[in-house]
Chains A and B, each alone.
Chain A
Amino acid sequence: MSTLTDLRIAAVGDIHLGEDVRGQYRQRLAGIEDRADVFMLAGDLTRHGTLEEGRLVADELRGLPIPVVAVLGNHDYHSDLQYEIAAELRDAGVVVLDDEGVVIQCGDRKLGVVGGKGFGGGFAGKCASEFGEREIKNFVSHTRYIAEAWKVALKEIVADERVVLSHYSPIKETLEGEPHEIYPFLGSYLLAEAVDTAGADLILHGHAHKGSEKGMTPGGIRVRNVAMPVLGKAYAVYCLTCDPGCA
């Protein structure tokens, strides 16, 4: 049952919009303000990361009646235009997180959102480490840098609830359905470790189109894979019930 103190988060990832589907996704967002207080997008908004696609996504999201927070995904980086795409989205009123946090006022409650694209590397016991060739070290240190930035942002943010928004997965459970051989390219346990250390109420990610929706970090934080092919719908809605004493 929905209560007044529920904070309702609509979320989706991997909408992968292109010119041939212009306008279609926006239709599915009709009435979102009645279902949710905030809309979050977990990256891979485009197919090839071109500026044209970035503008198309911005058009689809422009002027929604609730706050929109997004991170980019690997597809949005493909043409090396990630900053330009983020600028188009910001112009359309979307908050784009790049390893930082934002506080969204939802009624009388403050929702803290921390996130960014994230990156891969694999999961505890079966992961790459900062050893050997420069290329491998760069790969792993990129994820470490991101995890550290999220940890700091989560610790610093002042909010009633904290949600982490990522493209890559922090855990293996929500990858179930994907081939095991590609897990290291789908996420990293370093992201979960950072969030478990700093604390959060929910982690949202995408990227694993064939994965599963629900999982949990080793520290017990709920994780949801909101990739649209996984959800099979325009977005999911998660209700965070207010902690006693915060209202």
Chain B
Amino acid sequence: MEAPQYVAARVQQALAEDGRTHELGIRVDIRGDQLFLRGQVSGAQQRLRLGEVAHETAPDLHVHNEIKVVEAHEPGEDEHLD
């Protein structure tokens, strides 16, 4: 069986290089037959696409998509630099 570290690395590369996602900085962890995705993206569809690409790259694993969608909240306090 292939070491989980190599599978995780391949999934991470796919998320960065696949034309549907191009998302860097997503953390991929594998425990047994479970694959966990963590990180932040700018939209709900991007989150779904990342889950799809991960599933296609490692079809034997169960994908847990724990990626968060960044909300652009109202700007808060100003910072004064003096």
Contacts and interface: CB of A to CB of B under 8 A. Distances in A.
A117 interface: no
B2 interface: no
Interface residues of A, number: 37
Given A201-B81, A238-B81, A229 B46 contact: no
B42 A228 contact: yes
Interface of A: 2, 6, 8, 10, 14-18, 20-21, 24-25, 28, 35, 47-48, 75, 78, 178, 201-202, 209-210, 222, 228-229, 232-241
The 4 A-B residue pairs with the shortest CB-CB distance, nearest first, are A20-B45, A241-B82, A234-B72, A16-B42
Nearest to B40: A229
Given A237-B78, A241-B80, 13 more contacts: A17-B42, A18-B45, A21-B43, A28-B72, A209-B40, A228-B42, A232-B73, A234-B72, A235-B75, A236-B79, A238-B79, A238-B80, A239-B78
Contacts of B43: 18, 20-21
B72 A24 contact: yes
29 contacts: A15-B72, A16-B41, A17-B42, A18-B43, A18-B46, A20-B44, A20-B45, A20-B46, A21-B43, A25-B72, A28-B74, A28-B75, A47-B22, A47-B23, A47-B42, A48-B19, A210-B39, A228-B42, A228-B72, A232-B70, A233-B72, A233-B73, A235-B75, A238-B78, A238-B79, A238-B81, A239-B80, A241-B81, A241-B82
Contacts of B39: 209-210
Contacts of A233: 72-76
Interface in B12-31: 19, 22-23, 25
A140 B25 CA distance: 23
Interface residues of B, number: 24
Say what secondary structure dominates the interface of chain A. mixed
A210 B80 contact: no
A9 to B, nearest CB: 9
Contacts of A6: 80
Contacts of B75: 10, 28, 35, 233-237
A57 to B, nearest CB: 12
A31 to B, nearest CB: 9
Contacts of A201: 81
Given A18-B42, A228-B42, A2 B72 contact: no
From B44, B46, B79, name the one whose CB has the most chain A CB atoms within 10 angstroms: B79
A60 to B, nearest CB: 11
A168 to B, nearest CB: 13
B5 to A, nearest CB: 14
Contacts of A229: 40, 70
Nearest to B76: A233
